[in-house]
Amino acid sequence: GIQVEQSPPDLILQEGANSTLRCNFSDSVNNLQWFHQNPWGQLINLFYIPSGTKQNGRLSATTVATERYSLLYISSSQTTDSGVYFCAVADTGGFKTIFGAGTRLFVKA
Amino acid sequence: KAGVTQTPRYLIKTRGQQVTLSCSPISGHRSVSWYQQTPGQGLQFLFEYFSETQRNKGNFPGRFSGRQFSNSRSEMNVSTLELGDSALYLCASSPGYEQFFGPGTRLTVL
């Protein structure tokens, strides 16, 4: 099955810093999503991005499907950005979603 | 539009019991997926339903089962609970490929 690797596993930033989170996947995928999990466990949709580049405020994401990776950029980080960021992909059938292990981000004030 | 709802939000059971969790998808979404999240195993796919049919399932024992009703609401059942079943169970609904998650049900097995 598809393998999804996220890096780095942990990241500590000073408020205002920028960061790049990476997601590598082992096979062709039908879709790719980035999520932020808040301290209460809620998974919040950040991007649905099977290919290309999208931006939403301080966040942007790029997926290069042919090279099997996606990047999530966080600029001018804030303490509220803290939490776990997950990348999730679906196999080519599209009915089974595999999550990476996540990147745990802590932003210090 | 209302989001995905899951009930109950918290549940405490003892080993050997069974449990049923419920998920109501976003209106118009016909696909519902279930996931188990534990500190050791991360987020793992349980199964996915579309129009009352299970289209895929993950690598979980037969104690884990699910179903979907004609109104797209879904339930999952875990029989003969084990301590290792303690987890956050998340449900997601989808209109196609993009998934939207509910708040989860936190199950504790004592």
pLDDT for residue A94: 65
Give the helix/strand (H/E) hosting A86. Answer: strand A83-90
Give the helix/strand (H/E) hosting A32. Answer: strand A31-37
CB distance B34 to B66 below 8 Å: yes
The 10s digit of each residue's pLDDT in A33-67 is 999 998 889 999 999 999 999 999 999 999 999 99
User: Residue A44's closest chain B neighbor by CA?
Assistant: B101
The 10s digit of each residue's pLDDT in B49-106 is 999 999 999 999 999 999 999 999 999 999 999 999 999 999 999 998 899 999 999 9
pLDDT for residue A22: 98
pLDDT band at A95 (very low <50, low <70, confident <90, very high): confident
Distance (Å) of CA A32 to CA A24, A36, A94: 11, 14, 10
pLDDT for residue B27: 96
The 10s digit of each residue's pLDDT in B27-55 is 999 999 999 999 889 999 999 999 999 99
Q: Any alpha helices (H) in B25-103, and if so which ranges?
A: none
Place of tokens 């519902």: B32
A97 touches chain B (CB under 8 A): yes
Report which of residues A72 and A97 the model is more confident about. Answer: A72
Place of tokens 């509910």: B102
CB contact under 8 A, A96 and B100: no
pLDDT band at A28 (very low <50, low <70, confident <90, very high): confident
Q: Is A23 helix (H, G, I), strand (E, B) or coil?
A: strand
pLDDT for residue A29: 84
DSSP letter assigned to residue B26:
P
Q: Is A66 helix (H, G, I), strand (E, B) or coil?
A: helix
Count of positions (residues) in chain B: 110
Mean model confidence pLDDT for chain A: 94
CB contact under 8 A, A98 and B88: no
Q: Is the confidence at residue B10, as pLDDT, over 90? A: yes
- Identity of the residue numbered B21: L
Q: Are strands B42-50 and B53-57 parallel, antiparallel or unpaired?
A: antiparallel
Q: Is the confidence at residue B9, as pLDDT, over 70? A: yes
- Taking CB atoms and an 8 Å cutoff, what residues of chain B touch A30? 97
- Taking CB atoms and an 8 Å cutoff, what residues of chain B touch A97? 33, 35, 45, 48, 92, 99
User: Residue A47's closest chain B neighbor by CA?
Assistant: B98
Q: Is the confidence at residue A93, as pLDDT, over 80? A: no
